[in-house]
Amino acid sequence: MIAANTLNFDLHNHTAASDGTLSALELVTLAHKNSCDGFALTDHDTLLNVGAAHAAALQCGLNFIAGVEISVSWRAEGDIDSASKTIHIVGLNIDPTDKTLIAGLESVRGGRLVRGREIARLLALADIPDIFDEALALAENKEMLGRPHFARALVARGIVKDIHHAFRRYLTEGNPGYLPHKWASLADAVKWIVSAGGIAVIAHPGRYRLGHVGLNSLFIEFKSVGGQSIEVVTGSHSPSEYAPFARLCKEFDFYASRGADFHGYADTPTEPGKLPRLSEIDRDLRPVWSHFQ
């Protein structure tokens, strides 16, 4: 029997229904071409393309897992001094018809267009006028307008050479086009996922710059509200982060997840199904897909 953690499951990917650039059919075709043993679509805050991706996966015989990546605002309990951080929680193997999840995601999406107008106003103050319509035109699903669409609009105008510079110079904290936003609470995001029969996973825990103490409180709180897994191998971690997060994953008795966080050829260096296997990082990791293999 093949050990489960050697399998090529890729459980974090986006389409143009959120901030990716591929259609559901193009993305599923790519995952199939790359010999994925299992594949999850995890668009931000929307289930719009889950049906189309599932249908495409059935056509080519790819094992499909319905998923979502929920935007969360989180601050350690009792920490009243610091601002809240944006954390992403992936839900895997969810029922896309679950009413609680659908209503929750709708509430998270709600503020995005107003926020987009505000981002455009801030950029205008930094001598980049009238960019709202250009960003909106790049968002296939208008209610999912997000910073990546502004980043692509800044590239298209020739203001920066790529989206990473757009984020670094304009769209991240401390820069002219950034404004804080209130997303879902951690407890609600996990509750919606569990309500839909899914498993909650902390996406790319290395990305939040929480430090040792912050990460510990996040993991403890996540577990106390029903979270079960963290991403270890992800396109949003550097390879040097795989081993430390494998260690933390085992220490907290979490299941380990793996996914490219693929947004499209121009945005993400690694295609779905191409990252190292969990077994190459640590043979003792328990893969989250043991729940739905």
Instruction: Tell me which of 39, 167, 222, 255 binds ligand AMP, using CB under 6 A.
Output: 167
**Pairwise CA distance, residues 293 & 273, whole Å:** 16
Q: Which is nearer to Mn ion, 272 or 287 (CB)?
A: 272
The per-residue b/e assignment along 139-154, b for 16 or more CB within 10 angstroms, e otherwise, is: bbbeebbbbbbbbbbb
Q: Which residues pair with 74 in a beta bridge?
A: 85
| φ, ψ (nearest 5 deg) of residue 100 | -65, -45
Q: Kindly state whether residue 235 participates in binding ligand AMP, applying the rule CB under 6 A.
A: no
Question: Which residue has the CB atom at the shortest distance from Mn ion?
Answer: 88
Q: Kindly state whether residue 117 participates in binding ligand AMP, applying the rule CB under 6 A.
A: no
Which of ligand AMP, Mn ion, none binds 203 (CB below 5-8 Å, type-dependent)? Mn ion
Q: Which amino acid is at 176?
A: P
Identify which of 264, 204, 265, 203 has the alpha carbon closest to the alpha carbon of residue 20. 264
Q: Kindly state whether residue 262 participates in binding ligand AMP, applying the rule CB under 6 A.
A: no
Which of ligand AMP, Mn ion, none binds 224 (CB below 5-8 Å, type-dependent)? none
Q: Kindly state whether residue 263 participates in binding ligand AMP, applying the rule CB under 6 A.
A: yes
DSSP 8-state symbol, 5:
G
Closest separation in Å from C-beta 91 to ligand AMP: 15
Identify which of 76, 64, 45, 42 has the alpha carbon closest to the alpha carbon of residue 201. 42
Other beta carbons within 10 angstroms of residue 17's beta carbon come to 23
Judged by the rule CB under 5 A, the positions of this chain that interact with Mn ion are 19, 69, 88, 203, 261
Q: Kindly state whether residue 19 participates in binding ligand AMP, applying the rule CB under 6 A.
A: yes
Closest separation in Å from C-beta 171 to ligand AMP: 7
Instruction: Tell me which of 147, 152, 204, 237 binds ligand AMP, using CB under 6 A.
Output: 147
**Pairwise CA distance, residues 162 & 254, whole Å:** 36
- Contacting positions for ligand AMP (CB under 6 A): 19, 44, 71, 146-148, 163-164, 167, 172, 263
